Homo-oligomer: A and B are copies of this chain.
Amino acid sequence: MPATYDVLAIGNAIFDILVQTDESFLRAQSMTKGSMQLIDEARAKAIYAAMGPATEMSGGSAANTIVGVANFGARAVYVGKVKNDQIGTMYTHDIRAASVTFTTPAAGDGPATGCCYILVTPDGERTMNTYLGAAQNLSPADIDSAQVAASSITYLEGYLWDPKDAKDAFLKAAKIAHEAGRKVALTMSDAFCVDRYRAEFIELMRSKTVDIVFANTAELHSLYETSDFDGALKQLRQDVGLGVVTRSEKGCIAATASEVVEVPAFPVDKVVDTTGAGDLFAAGFLYGLVRDLGLAKAGKLGALAAAEVIQHVGARPLASLKQLASEHGLSA
């Protein structure tokens, strides 16, 4: 059956609260620069009270990716849990206004919509503190079987291993997708996430629950507990059908058992905020895949989208990625 949607993404629905800060704040708060840390409500309040004036926008790793996919012109669906509070209303507006289908019911009670306190240092690096809130309650009941079966690729974030029922939602979606003859992709999310769920992520690949994996260098090294990049890449190629490894300014590598394709990064004038770089890379790459453009073009589309998003504050594109792709001869 032809797919109704190109990509369906499942992730933790998180509203971003961004603040410009300096290194001393990270030290005073004992934060590990560049990491994503899960926090409880009390810690969220303490961080918020200590930090400066902020700006807000919708975030969430897989949500940022799916907004990018839609921005390229593909048909996109998002699955994630918010509460029906003011922040949840803004979150729902933003993703629907980005032309993404979003029908997951908002929680009527329980914790507030999840928030991520993002500290952006002058070098553009972001340090994240996530209060999952309502995202903790994403469950298998939130997976719409027909939507998943109708999507060419179901894309899942590793962060889904954090809330207790979300991994069941993840596995349910993967099963439905494969039964419908579709593909399943996983992003490793971050090196600390890999560290928490290493064995499970490897098992997801070896059991062929996932067909495509996105990882950056740190995540790849963490996955196989090695600092040997070539060895880790070789292992990844054995473990998963398609492995896509991003290496910041060194570009990316897309590798299958039989093929390794290297793609350089797009040059950027100034890195303002790296938030969303990996998310938007995945958006471009997925768009290339669903349009059957081949691994090299998919990698270029990923690099293009990542370059756009790191040149401004925030993790969602401000420019039209469809138009950028066209300007760079990368249209479908």
Chain B residues with Cβ under 8 A from A55's Cβ? 55-57, 314
Contact call B90/A54, Cβ cutoff below 8 A: yes
A316 at interface by CB-CB < 8 Å: yes
Contact A48 B87 (CB under 8 A): no
With A86-B112, A112-B86, A318-B20 known as contacts, the answer to whether A56 contacts B57 (CB < 8 A) is yes
Q: For the complex, is A165 an interface residue (Cβ under 8 Å from B)? A: no
CB distance B98 to A52 under 8 Å? yes
Q: Mark A51-64, 1 if CB is under 8 A from B, else 0.
A: 11111111000000
Interface residues of A in 84-100 (CB under 8 A from B): 85-87, 90, 93-95, 97-98
A106 within 8 Å of B (CB atoms): no
Interface string of A122-138 (1 = CB under 8 A from B): 00000000000000000
| A318 CB contacts on chain B under 8 angstroms | 20
- Prevailing SS type, chain A contact patch: mixed
Q: Which range holds the interface residue count of chain A?
A: 20 to 34
Residues of B near A56 (CB, < 8 A) are 55-57, 90
Cβ-based interface call for A67 (8 A): yes
Which residues of the partner chain B approach A98 to less than 8 Å between Cβ atoms? 52-53
Determine the distance from Cα of A97 to Cα of B52 in the docked complex, in whole angstroms: 5
Q: Flag A15-26 by CB within 8 Å of B: 1 or 0 each.
A: 001001000000
12 contacts between A and B (CB under 8 A): A17-B90, A49-B93, A51-B97, A52-B97, A52-B98, A53-B67, A53-B93, A53-B95, A54-B97, A55-B55, A56-B56, A85-B86
Q: Which residues of A contact B (CB under 8 A)?
A: 17, 20, 48-49, 51-58, 67, 85-87, 90, 93-95, 97-98, 112, 314, 316, 318
Closest 3 CB pairs of A and B: A56-B56, A86-B86, A53-B94
